[in-house]
């Protein structure tokens, strides 16, 4: 029985389509030069884990949020700065309990992504993405007790891909940070991708672009995985006129 060699995964969102094609099955598929497997270093594993974290955040942003939702910064007054990340997480938990209750009163689920950040000079703040509902600004301001709340619309922080990288940043990705802790609410499940298998690699001359979409050139990646020796291709298509 023949083994499947390549897998195409398509993640469909209202305004974006993400496509991944990569090798699977037995090592050394037809048409591929056999390479010795390479064990990733700790640095390479950290980069891989960060890529997965950004990917999940990006998918949640594309499924549950729109460009006019809020990107919020919860700041700390100097006198109220937490003594540790554990204390900051407890501050955020208390804030969430109150905000969630207020959203529920208005008939909305409280969806969020957040990153608690400590700068190299000791300043603390929390970046947060939330749905913009009636009174959202009042809810945030009334229930954050440690400093100011700054609101901007999400599109002012760039396209969702950039925003996902920003909200999940760490000291490894941003040297201005001393420490960080990323998390997201649990009420944002994601649909599995549509999958299609190929026996051999099919290097399309051009990416197939459906009507109404355009290729995000910055996302197009092609090459050979240094750890498996398999070829891969990744890219994103964006809706030209977003709904």
Model confidence pLDDT, tens digit, residues 81-103: 999 999 999 999 999 999 999 99
pLDDT for 205: 57
Q: Which of 140, 142, 148, 143 is nearest to 124 (CA)?
A: 148
Which runs of consecutive H residues, i.e. helices, occur in 83-242? 85-105, 136-143, 160-167
Paired residues of 195 in beta bridges:
9
Q: Which of 72, 59, 239 is nearest to 153 (CA)?
A: 72
pLDDT for 106: 97
Share the mean pLDDT of the chain. Answer: 89
pLDDT for 34: 53
Strand, helix or coil for residue 23 = strand
Both tokens of 14, joined, read 């209202």
Report yes or no: 175 and 52 within 8 Å, Cβ to Cβ: no
The answer on pLDDT for 154 being more than 60 is yes
Domains of the chain: 63-184 (3.30.70)
More confident residue, 23 or 213: 213
What proportion of the chain, given as a percentage, has pLDDT over 70? 88
Both tokens of 138, joined, read 């009042």
- State the Cα–Cα distance between residues 113 and 167, nearest whole angstrom: 8
Tell me how far the alpha carbon of residue 34 is from its chain's centroid.
Answer: 33
């Amino acid at each position: 029985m023949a083994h499947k060699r390549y897998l195409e995964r398509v993640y469909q969102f209202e305004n974006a389509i993400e496509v991944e094609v990569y090798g699977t099955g037995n090592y050394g598929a037809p048409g591929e030069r056999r390479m010795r497997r390479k064990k990733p270093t700790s640095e390479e594993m950290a980069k891989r884990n960060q890529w997965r974290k950004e990917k999940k955040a990006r998918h949640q942003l594309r499924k549950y949020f729109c460009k006019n939702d809020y990107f919020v910064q919860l700041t700390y007054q100097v006198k109220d700065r937490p003594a540790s990340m554990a204390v900051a997480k407890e501050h955020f938990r208390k804030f969430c309990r109150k905000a969630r209750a207020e959203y529920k009163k208005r008939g909305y689920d409280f969806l969020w992504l957040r990153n608690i950040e400590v700068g190299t000079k000791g300043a603390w703040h929390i970046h947060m993405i939330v749905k913009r509902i009636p009174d959202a600004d009042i809810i945030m301001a009334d229930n954050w007790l440690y400093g100011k709340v700054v609101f901007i619309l999400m599109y002012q922080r760039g396209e969702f891909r950039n925003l996902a990288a920003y909200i999940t940043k760490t000291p490894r990705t941003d040297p201005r940070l001393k420490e960080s802790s990323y998390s997201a609410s649990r009420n944002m499940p994601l649909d599995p991708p549509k999958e299609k298998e190929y026996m051999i690699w099919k290097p399309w001359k051009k990416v197939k672009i459906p009507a109404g979409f355009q290729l995000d050139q910055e996302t197009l990646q092609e090459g050979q995985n240094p750890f498996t020796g398999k070829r891969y291709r990744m890219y994103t298509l964006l809706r030209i006129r977003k709904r």
